[in-house]
Amino acid sequence: MRYVLMILALMAGSALAQQVPQSAAQMQLSFVPLVKEATPAVVNIYAKIMSAPRRTPLQSDPFFERFFRDPFSERPRVQNSLGSGVILSEDGIVVSNYHVVGMATEIRVVLNDRREYSAQVLLGDAEADLAILKIDADTPLPFLELRDSETVEVGELALAIGNPFGVGQTVSSGIVSGLARSGAGGGNSGLGYFIQTDAPINPGNSGGALIDMQGRLVGINTSILTRSGGSNGIGFAIPADLVAAFVAQARAGEVTFARPWAGISGQPVDSDMAGPLGLDRPVGIIVSGLHPASPFLDAGLEVGDIITHVGGATVHTPNEMIYRMSVAGLGRSTAVRFRRDGVDKDVDVGLIAAPDDPPREETVLGARSILPELRIARVNPAIISELNLPLEAAGVVVLDAGRFGPRVGLRKGDLILAVNAVEVSHPSDLEALFGGEVRRFEIVIQRGDRRSLLRFRV
């Protein structure tokens, strides 16, 4: 009877039975044909990075630097970076991680057949941890096709290909174990939207390929979450859809990735908030703030609305929303669904870059100023986006504290609100306040969501 039940179960699950080896011949099946097809498009990358010399605070002081001058420590140091990359076109477009090649002065790309090429970075973005390279070859190069990230499902088989520990190209297998992992990568978490895999990933795999069983690129391996430091952890890959957006901007001549600007602040809806908001389960992002120039405000959204879908996909975190907008691309619009007073509404939101308006009026204080070399600018949406300032930020921001700014407590990103009880609205205000005969100063600054008072005399 037991065997009869087993046969019936196999017949009922014929689709599954076709995937299970049924003979010794079928057990000989392997990934060999797939690996032979895909590995020529995965490259090893060797990069040299010139790092600035280390300087102690005393070396930066005009009085003490002569006593602490060390000719050896002042020399730039050469660091070698090792990683992987993937060829995406026959004319030599290559994608890798920013942390592998982003600051490199010399990049060498080695193909699977041992051909070597020098490469240059066309476009890089530290936040997304992606970089697009270009190599010039005499013949067409092997490349991988990108797979639509929306079609990837949990449970699919996947192969990770890269150059772990510099031992040479290596292939490891696993499955896609999770989707839409937000902020899970640690370190350079990028846009906070990852494909999760249990395929072993080690140092040097960064920038390598995660492929499906048709040899298409599913994602770019970027990090691993592990307690031991080895490969026995959870790996994360940047989805191919975002890679495609980077390639499009690189081919258009951009050198930095321009992502759409939302101009909103909000927080994920959790289980404690869902009931009072009339939701049967936690979903979406509740809007807590809207910049006057926000395209969401222009589309009709208000504080208190709950954004549930962007581009037809459910969103649970701000990172997911920005990812969806980035994949859609600048200059377009995307469908947004939000809930207000228990009613779902659909609108189209224009995807724009953060406006550089009003003019930032970037200024460097002169030698006669109290704080010479201090670089400041007027806050606008572009500055807010670049420096990750609070949405309601206004006034004057520090772009570079210069040589003397750190001594009085100023840092890059500080908002200067007032000097000696005089409100500061424009860089010209600060030039006048720091250029007079006053020798005692009280500066009100905002750092993040915290205000502080700096007192000093000169």
Give 350's strand partners. 333
Active-site residue flag, 206: yes
63 CB burial (10 A radius; 0-12, 13-18, 19+): exposed
Q: Which of 206, 223, 231, 294 is catalytic?
A: 206
Active-site residue flag, 426: no
How far is residue 180's CA from residue 182's CA, in Å, rounded to a whole number? 6
Q: How far apart are the first and last CA of the chain?
A: 95
- The dihedral through the CA atoms of 255, 260, 263, 268 has a sign that is negative
Q: Which of 84, 99, 125, 241 is catalytic?
A: 99
At residue 115, what is the residue type?
R
Q: Which of 125, 129, 198, 241 is catalytic?
A: 129
Question: How many residues are recorded in the chain?
Answer: 458
Task: Please name the residue that has the structure tokens 């389960």.
Answer: 281
- The string over 233-252, giving b where at least 16 C-beta atoms fall within 10 Å of a residue's C-beta and e elsewhere, is bbbbbbbbbbbbbbbebbee
How far is residue 281's CA from residue 272's CA, in Å, rounded to a whole number? 10
Helical packing angle, 318-328 and 240-251, nearest 10°: 50
Task: Please name the residue that has the structure tokens 């010039």.
Answer: 136
Active-site residue flag, 316: no
- CB atoms under 10 Å from CB of 225, counted, come to 14
11 CB burial (10 A radius; 0-12, 13-18, 19+): exposed
Positions annotated as catalytic residues are 99, 129, 206
